[in-house]
Chains A and B, each alone.
Chain A
Amino acid sequence: MERLDAEEGVSDSASSELLIEGVTKRFGEVVALDGVSLKVARGELLTILGPSGSGKTTLLKVVAGFETPDAGSVRAGDSDITALPPARRDIGMVFQNYALFPHLTVHGNVAFPLEMRNVPRAEIERRVAEALATVELDGYGQRLPRQLSGGQQQRVALARAIVFNPRLLLLDEPFGALDRKLRETMQLEVRRLQRKLGLTTIFITHDQEEALVLSDRIAVMNRGTIQQVATTTEIYERPANDFVADFVGESNLFHGSVSAPGEVTVDGGRRIAVPPGTAVGQRVGLLMRPERFASDGANRFAGAVVESVYLGTAFKLRLACDDGMELLVRQPARGPLPVPGARLEVAIDPDAIHVFQ
Chain B
Amino acid sequence: MFSSSRPWPALPAFLLLLVFFLFPVARMLAFSLEGGTLDWYAKALGEGLYLRVMWNTFEIALLVTACCLLLGYPVGFLMATTTPFWATLGFIFVLLPLWTSVLVRTYAWMVLLGRNGVINRTLMESGLTSDPIPMLHNFSGVLIGMVHVLLPYMVLPVYGAVRRVDPSVVAAAAGLGASTGRIFWRVYLPLTLNGIFAGSVLVFVLSLGFFITPALLGGGRVMMIAVLIEQQVREALNWPFAAALSAVLLAATLVVYAVAQRLGGQEARS
Tell me the A residues contacting B by CB distance below 8 Å.
64-66, 85-93, 95-97, 99-103, 112-113, 116-117, 160, 164
Q: Are A97 and B168 in contact (CB under 8 A)?
A: yes
Residue B174 interfacial (CB < 8 Å): yes
Smallest CB separation, A213 vs chain B (Å): 25
Give Cα A97–Cα B167 distance, bound, in whole angstroms: 11
Chain A residues with CB below 8 A from B174, complex form: 65-66, 85-87
Give Cα A86–Cα B172 distance, bound, in whole angstroms: 9
Chain B residues with CB below 8 A from A90, complex form: 177
Closest to B165 in A: A102
Smallest CB separation, B160 vs chain A (Å): 16
Smallest CB separation, A98 vs chain B (Å): 9
Chain B residues with CB below 8 A from A64, complex form: 175
Where chain B touches its partner, the secondary structure class is helix
9 A-B pairs whose Cβ atoms sit less than 8 Å apart in the complex = A87-B174, A87-B178, A95-B171, A97-B168, A101-B173, A112-B178, A113-B176, A116-B182, A160-B176
Q: Are B176 and A112 in contact (CB under 8 A)?
A: yes
Q: Are A112 and B173 in contact (CB under 8 A)?
A: yes
Q: Are B175 and A86 in contact (CB under 8 A)?
A: yes
Q: Are B168 and A164 in contact (CB under 8 A)?
A: no
Extra A-B contacts (16), CB below 8 Å, given A103-B190, A116-B178: A64-B175, A66-B171, A87-B174, A87-B176, A87-B177, A90-B177, A93-B175, A95-B171, A99-B171, A102-B191, A103-B191, A112-B186, A113-B177, A116-B176, A116-B177, A116-B182
Give Cα A1–Cα B119 distance, bound, in whole angstroms: 69
Smallest CB separation, B76 vs chain A (Å): 19
Give Cα A122–Cα B173 distance, bound, in whole angstroms: 22
Q: Are A87 and B191 in contact (CB under 8 A)?
A: no
Residue B102 interfacial (CB < 8 Å): no
Residue B179 interfacial (CB < 8 Å): yes
Q: Are B171 and A101 in contact (CB under 8 A)?
A: no
Give Cα A191–Cα B130 distance, bound, in whole angstroms: 77
Chain A residues with CB below 8 A from B171, complex form: 66, 86, 95, 99
Q: Are B176 and A164 in contact (CB under 8 A)?
A: yes
Residue B108 interfacial (CB < 8 Å): no
Chain A residues with CB below 8 A from B168, complex form: 95-97, 99
Please indicate which of the listed interface residues B172, B174, B182, B190 has the most CB atoms of chain A within 10 Å of its own CB. Answer: B172
Q: Are B177 and A99 in contact (CB under 8 A)?
A: no
What are the nearest 7 A-B pairs in CB distance?
Answer: A116-B177, A99-B172, A113-B176, A99-B168, A86-B174, A103-B190, A86-B175
Chain A residues with CB below 8 A from B175, complex form: 64-66, 86-87, 89, 91-93
Give Cα A89–Cα B171 distance, bound, in whole angstroms: 13
Report B170-204 CB contacts with A as 1/0, cut-off 8 Å.
01111111110010001100110000000000000
Residue B169 interfacial (CB < 8 Å): yes
Please indicate which of the listed interface residues B176, B182, B187 has the most CB atoms of chain A within 10 Å of its own CB. Answer: B176
Give Cα A92–Cα B172 distance, bound, in whole angstroms: 9
Give Cα A116–Cα B180 distance, bound, in whole angstroms: 11
Residue B47 interfacial (CB < 8 Å): no
Q: Are A164 and B169 in contact (CB under 8 A)?
A: no
Q: Are B182 and A95 in contact (CB under 8 A)?
A: no
Smallest CB separation, B264 vs chain A (Å): 15
